[in-house]
Amino acid sequence: MPITVGSVSGRIWRVLETLPPNFKEMFERNLARHAFKPIDPERGQLQAVGWVNIRQLLDSRLTLDKVLFRNLIALGLRVDRLAINQRVFRATLAQAIGKKLHETERKELSREEKLVIEDKVRLDLIKHTQPNTAVYEMIWQLESGTVLFSSGSQKLGLIFSDLFSETFQVSVEPQLPFLRAQHWADRNRMGQELLELLPSPFSPEAPVDVVEEVGAGEEE
Amino acid sequence: MGVLELIQQKSFLGREFLTWLWYRSEQGGQIELHGGKPVTVEIMGPILLDAQYGDARASTLKGESPATSPEAGTALIEGKKLRRARLKMERDGVEWVLTLDGETFNISGLAIPNPGRMPFEDTLTMRAEMIFEFERTLDTLFQEFMHLRLEAKQWPKEIKKIHEWVKEK
């Protein structure tokens, strides 16, 4: 669900480094570099990822004034994916191979010839297939270094964090429970205690061997 | 051990935190925080409980007040912990209603009041402030939990009280 309207969903991230003093110039440069560009079928691309204007997902001509709102950076992350229908692909390929055999009056094609036809069929289908488009949102509060990304998916999180790091030249970390606990433990010099921590039985009737079993699993 | 393995191994922390919030919410509501305003938590529903071991299945409880239902008590007795819950949190006059996942702390359905007709920048700033205020409150609560959880003398006492609470549910 989007951040800018309605109820909000997603995952909290935290920027791990301090921004350099000239971060605005760097942002402007890198936003253009990592703005969304459509899939290039000629290059056999099946996916395109990039930033877009959070207010207009078709606008990828990004300047700082479109993304910086007081102390917030707000951006859309657009992901376009092409998926070729495999049944259509196989049928089209069979047809193309049949046509080649007929033209050359042969009963069989070499492996190399088949691969060439396969690549051509795939490229033709890509060119004529509309991509699936998804847009996610992120807002980044610069002072606190806190970021909300509007998806909790692990896979999308990787795409997001890679693009974020490349664009803004800082690392970003998901605020999963253990990672929060680790930061707290490091600040309070209880890192070892955290590493040794085992689950507690919240039930008075939980069998003792359950806890031991988990402990044994960890030792393995 | 790598970070990913540690995250997996310690994934019980989020469930324990949620279950602890549930317990504390039924002890008079307010959770005092070191050096900060108290937080009131209410576990609404639906709630999802599961166990991380054995063949135990997950229990999803819905309805008017699943957290106080006999089924919730049964699930706790079986050793299940809260995996996901729709909950209400209030601090210093600000209220948030959302679903929180204990394993990832992913949020969903966080209700933000509609400010009406305002310039986009004002709307965005207001919404962002509410979201990040929630995050600060969640983080402070979690730190409070971790402080207790790693306290060698206090945590066993807390567990004993939790056991009494589970028995009475």
Written as one letter, the residue type at B39 is: V
Cβ separation A185–B150 shorter than 8 A: yes
CB contact under 8 A, B163 and A181: no
β B30-33/A132-141 pair status: unpaired
Q: Which residue does chain B place closest to A72, by CA atoms?
A: B125
Q: Do A77 and A52 touch, CB atoms closer than 8 A?
A: yes
The answer, yes or no, to whether ipTM is higher than 0.95 is no
* Alpha carbon distances (Å) from B130 to A108, A149, A151, B91, B106: 67, 15, 18, 12, 16
Beta strands in chain A (DSSP E): 8-15, 47-52, 68-69, 72-81, 132-141, 146-149, 172-174
Residue B65 structure tokens: 């007040």
Contact call for B124 and A72, based on CB within 8 A: yes
- B50-69 residues touching A, CB cutoff 8 A: 52-54
pTM score of the predicted model: 0.88
Which residue among A152, A210, A218 places its CB closest to the CB of B53?
A210
Distance of alpha carbon A182 from alpha carbon A90, whole angstroms? 51
**pLDDT tens, B97-117?**
999 999 999 999 999 877 778
Backbone angles phi, psi at A100, to 5 degrees: -65, -40
CB pair distance less than 8 Å for A185 and B13? no
How far, CA to CA in Å, does B86 sit from each of A160, B18, B19, B90? 26, 11, 12, 14
pLDDT band at A219 (very low <50, low <70, confident <90, very high): very low
Per-residue model confidence as pLDDT tens digits over A194-204: 999 999 999 98
Q: pLDDT tens per residue, chain B (169 residues)? A: 788 889 988 999 999 999 999 999 999 878 988 878 999 999 998 999 988 666 667 888 888 888 988 889 989 988 899 999 999 999 999 999 999 999 999 999 999 877 778 899 999 999 999 999 999 999 999 999 999 999 989 999 999 999 999 999 8
Contacts of B17 in chain A (CB under 8 A): 177
